Amino acid sequence: MPASFGATSTTEDVLSGVDLKGKRVLVTGVSAGLGVETARALAAHGAQVVGAARDLAKAKTATAQVLADAANGGGLELVELDLADLRSVRACADALLADGRPFDLVIANAGVMATPFGKTTDGFETQFGTNHLGHFVFVNRIASLFAPGSRLVNLSSSGHRFSDVDLEDPNFDHTDYAEFVAYGRSKTANILFAVEFDRRHKARGVRATAVHPGGIQTELGRYMTHEVMQGLIESINATNAASGQPAFEWKTVPQGAATSVWAGVVAPADAVGGLYCEDCHVAEVVEGGDMLAVRGGVRPYALDPEHAKALWAKSEEMVGERFA
């Protein structure tokens, strides 16, 4: 794996010289930000991209540049997917199964962050239900479409350090709700889902990994006020100064999407399977440390294989569906 890739690498840096003609890729959340750039970069290198979004009209407008940059046989088609409504999730998956064309890469990119307390259509806490359970059902329903040698990339976050999953109270029925605790639970779940999906499917040549894109100014932060965001950055900078690290800097969207495409098509499968990546490399496992450190590895609980199995079983129980 090229050592030159890092925090400032862009999608074009990572995909330089990579030919994806004939590859079929699915990306969720293509109506803004990272999802649009991920789809654009892959289509520009020849991939046929299926972009999933809740609002198709918004996605059509947002992905105009994807079609403009598509080259070498690359292209884009859009499908409707509302991850906060399992009826929509199952309908989208069923339509893809009926179509029958396989995928070489699925990037579970869509998500929400730090939302006020709420519930999905199916009664799940909004962040856990959207970020984890929606993708859990969707990906597992289309698992038979993963071609040998294909990969799943789950978008997680350094925010997984805010909290482990709570399998006893996933919907905050008995716990005081806190926006970033809920976000942390959902992002830890994204990693654990990749760990168990990788274990279950690697024998047939399908691998899974989770990635942290970095701090990027996108619609993901729309629920955070300017004051909350500034306070968070100030706390991060204080933590960094105390440990001799540089001040926080935002990544650009192409830099943020780079780790997704790196883990999906560039890094050797055995090097990233069942692991967590950041800044175009596999993250170090770090015990403890400050949860506000923007970079600094992955917590052991997020990669624990038995924990991943337990989350899988709990997720099946919650959605009322079992997956082989």
Q: What is the pLDDT of residue 240?
A: 58
pLDDT in tens, the chain (324 residues): 444 899 999 999 999 999 999 999 999 999 999 999 999 999 999 999 999 999 999 999 999 999 999 999 999 999 999 999 999 999 999 999 999 999 999 999 999 999 999 999 999 999 999 999 999 999 999 999 999 999 999 999 999 999 999 999 999 999 999 999 999 999 999 999 999 999 999 999 999 999 999 988 766 656 656 666 566 666 665 665 666 666 767 799 999 999 999 999 999 999 999 999 999 999 999 987 655 554 579 999 999 999 999 999 999 999 999 998
Q: Which residue of the set 9, 150, 156, 163 is catalytic? A: 156
CA–CA gap between residue 276 and residue 86 (Å, rounded): 27
Q: What is the pLDDT of residue 286?
A: 93
Please, are residues 258 and 5 in contact by the beta-carbon 8 Å criterion? yes
Q: What is the pLDDT of residue 248?
A: 66
- Ordered by where they begin, the domains of the chain are 11-224+252-319 (3.40.50.720)
Q: Which residue of the set 183, 186, 260, 276 is catalytic? A: 183
Please, are residues 145 and 254 in contact by the beta-carbon 8 Å criterion? no
Q: What is the pLDDT of residue 215?
A: 83
Q: What is the pLDDT of residue 295?
A: 54
Q: Which residue of the set 158, 187, 251, 276 is catalytic? A: 187
Is the pTM higher than 0.85? yes
Q: What is the pLDDT of residue 229?
A: 58
Quick count: other Cβ atoms within 10 Å of Cβ 261? Answer: 30
183 tagged catalytic: yes
Amino acid (one-letter) located at 108:
A
The DSSP output letter for 262 is: I
What tokens were used for 76? Answer: 């884009």
187 tagged catalytic: yes
Q: What is the pLDDT of residue 130?
A: 98
177 tagged catalytic: no
Q: List the Cα angle 141/261/87 in 5-degree steps.
A: 25
